[in-house]
Amino acid sequence: MRQLGTVWGLAALLALAGAGCKTSTGGGDTVIRPDVDPAATGNAVEGDVIKIGVIASLNGDLKPWGEDSVRGIKLAVEEFNAAGGLDGKMVELLIEDTASRAEQGKSATEKLIAKDKVVAIIGEIASGITQPSAMVAQQYGVPIISPGATRVDITQIGKAVFRACFTDNFQGAAMAKFAYEKLSLRRIAILTDKAQPYSTGLSDVFRAAFTQFGGEIVDEQFYEKGTLDFKPQLTNLRTKNPDGLFCSGYFNEVGPIARQRLVIGLDVPMIGGDGWDSRELLQSGGRGIIGSYFSNHYSSLEDREIVQRFVANFTDMWGAAPATAMGAVSYDAAGVLLDALRRAETLDSPGIIKAIQDTKDFPGVSGSITIGDDGNAEKAILVLEVTEEGFVPFDRIDFFVFEEK
């Protein structure tokens, strides 16, 4: 395993790139997260069963993430219940398949809250699916904590919405700094999925940060989910003579992009975000993806004791280590929620919302988690290198905040 590089830490302030306003973790103008309507009291624990809902992509394009997510959540709940639950009360998971579709995620959330009476929800991974689901949860006053939705404005929906992962403010700025300082890139082209909120948001932040660090964005080209031929966009980018290519989309398209960039002669380093995280990328990307870098939440190759214990327990339960980081961050999201249950003054949705908001230094597999006033997790990030053997830890970047000037 390659040794991690020097840890970075900055004392700047965070800004929301591309949304025209600053978040509550930054300076200047502050986004005020809407309170939960006092009339929206959510649900309460009844009897000895604590009902928690889960929404995950168990079918569709994002199935690898959904499967790992559910397995991580089930492991956390299994451990919680095996330890006696909460004063004898046991957690029951009610799991709904979003099928990798936003509308199905929304309807699943409505069912879990209105019909099944869950007191809280874990999910989704994808920002585009989480967004409408979070709006439903906020409307009903039921807490929702996303393991992997990194788009900045997700938690701005309201005070019932949280996440256990970093945001694209940090991810985009961190990868921009990595590209500029560690890879010494100066002229980067961007390829963005214009129909994917995650992709557009991440590209916005990367563009703003890389420019501010001193680099130049020579061009940005766009595509939509389901695109098979990326050669026209890649050919246009090649004419601008970039020395790097930032791809903010999901692994489904990044693999074919990696192959086709070599076909048209765009032989420059590729960089991306946590949306790359799937072993399918190695197969679909082939030789074109080797030597690329992307940000992620954790790696099973880390030698931290908590990581190795999690991997061992996950393997014991499911027969193999998690295929993606979504197993770990979902385990952590469940852990944050279960920890909040233990601390909640009342076993109902309002009590759980307050307890999640008060989370400080929770020992997560993906790093120590503190929930800020903005509902976001403040935590470190890993940079992984894509090798023929897999995804290898290359660098660690401490949490920092960035202000667009």
- 81-92 confidence digits (pLDDT tens): 999 999 999 999
Query: How much is the pLDDT for 15?
Result: 31
Nearest-angstrom CA–CA distance, 62 and 69: 11
**Residue where the block lists tokens 């991997």:** 311
- CATH architecture of residue range(s) 168-296+382-397: 3-Layer(aba) Sandwich (3.40)
CATH class of 49-165+304-374: alpha beta
Delimit the CATH 3.40.50.2300 region(s) of the chain.
49-165+304-374, 168-296+382-397
Query: How much is the pLDDT for 405?
Result: 77
Nearest-angstrom CA–CA distance, 166 and 379: 6
> For residue 203, which phi and psi values (nearest 5 degrees)?
-65, -40
- Give me the sign of the Cα torsion angle 169, 213, 236, 289: negative
Q: How many CB atoms lie within 10 A of CB 61?
A: 18
Higher-pLDDT residue of 108, 379: 108
Higher-pLDDT residue of 29, 314: 314
Range of weakest confidence among 124-128, 146-150, 400-404: 400-404
Q: What rounded mean pLDDT belongs to the chain?
A: 91
Nearest-angstrom CA–CA distance, 337 and 329: 12
- pLDDT bracket for residue 30 (50, 70, 90): low
